A and B are shown apart, each in its own frame.
Chain A
């Protein structure tokens, strides 16, 4: 992955910036240029909560090559109190004990290393709350 591709996503991946439509209040992660609900083009930036609830999850056992060292690893979709949902890896967990509805906290983690350019890319992972 070319460095610019990772660099330009930093606001949402590092700082967890989301967007809320000024016209209708619909929230977006990642941010967009136009609201899919009302067509509004002006947004306020806000920072996502650090905690969400696990909606569903899986354990990836046959990943793409850049994740093969990690397998098996859990991934899930969490929902924040404000209604937004996002997908990510679930780290520091016993994959046999995950449950729908569990509270998850977001932590800043390394996601992958690019083989060609050697670029490390970072973002959030979900950590079950009692760990």
Chain B
């Protein structure tokens, strides 16, 4: 396999973008990535999109997007793994370049979620759960994570304040991210006083509904060197799956797919979790970030919430988690989220993070963890400086 690098990244301002269409938001991110790499041509496109069909009635996403980004006739595929679709697109693009099939591949992600009502979005997102044995009975996505939160909080005696520390930290970081949907700080009491969505989760425990897109350009390290542009190496990729239905899992307070995807990516990179200078993880809900940081081995079982409350995961903490603002503040356009995480880690490794968000001490290794559904899919990548 060939060594693979990221030579370009592109993102756009995420939010409720009523004036912009599905194809336009992706094109904006894709053109930014091409400009960043100094390229006008790619060999192939892989794009993550969870549900073009339910959100905008558009399937056949690969072809329409290849055409609209100005790359007519190239091979193009859409991949889907619920909210991990973006991470999966990055992994498939990596495989395509590493294998020698293509030299320059764009890994993209896109979701246009506000062309449907809140009900419609709830319905579309719920298709990532077991339709016949979870959704049929009336569960929603916040409901699934709320059940994990209840079990976790009882088991480890977690307080409301400890849980609230996660979104407060996310918004603090996101307030420095010019591309974030909600770039403003919030207070601990704002989280506790917010309207309940699915007990014990309140509205500010939950990531928002977002329109957004992101893209990355992958090529070989050899080609990247010749391009004389700053590049970042992809040293590890790992993916794992688990039962889609939450009741069928061995544990309600552990994410086995994240544990396995993390171990696989670390093994490939020849790294330990303690080597990471920062991580971007899938904080679709406050409880998700806590269980993910434990399942990746950053914290011991039951220590994730306490560590977040102590500031260990802050921008200036021992291990910064979600310097971008995470899904919570930056936004969660489901198919684009995994690529958005890559964009942040590449910026941090290049020293390009905006507005004082740059982690001090020249970070050299970072990780992304992107997750689908209530954790039935997880994709982890390790990125390192050239």
Contacts and interface: CB of A to CB of B under 8 A. Distances in A.
Interface of A: 9, 30, 55-65, 67-68, 70, 73, 75-77, 85-89, 100, 111-112, 121, 123
Contact of B245 (A58, A59, A87): A87
Q: A30, A58, A77, A100: which has the most chain B beta carbons within 10 Å?
A: A58
A94 B327 CA distance: 34
Given A65-B123, A75-B139, A9 B146 contact: no
Contacts of B143: 58, 60, 75
Contacts of A121: 136
Contacts of B247: 77, 85-87
Contacts of A89: 137-138
A105 B201 CA distance: 26
A64 B138 CA distance: 7
B197 interface: yes
A77 B136 contact: no
B40 interface: no
Interface string B187-209: 00000000111111100000000
B252 A56 contact: yes
A30 B248 CA distance: 10
B140 A87 contact: no
Contacts of B146: 58
Contact of B197 (A61, A65, A123): A61
Given A9-B132, A85-B247, A87-B133, A59 B196 contact: yes
Contacts of A61: 195-199
A103 B119 CA distance: 33
Interface in B129-148: 132-140, 142-143, 146-148
A73 B123 contact: no
Given A30-B133, A62-B118, A85-B247, 18 more contacts: A30-B132, A56-B151, A56-B154, A58-B198, A62-B140, A62-B197, A63-B138, A65-B119, A65-B123, A68-B119, A73-B138, A77-B147, A77-B246, A77-B252, A87-B245, A89-B138, A100-B154, A123-B136
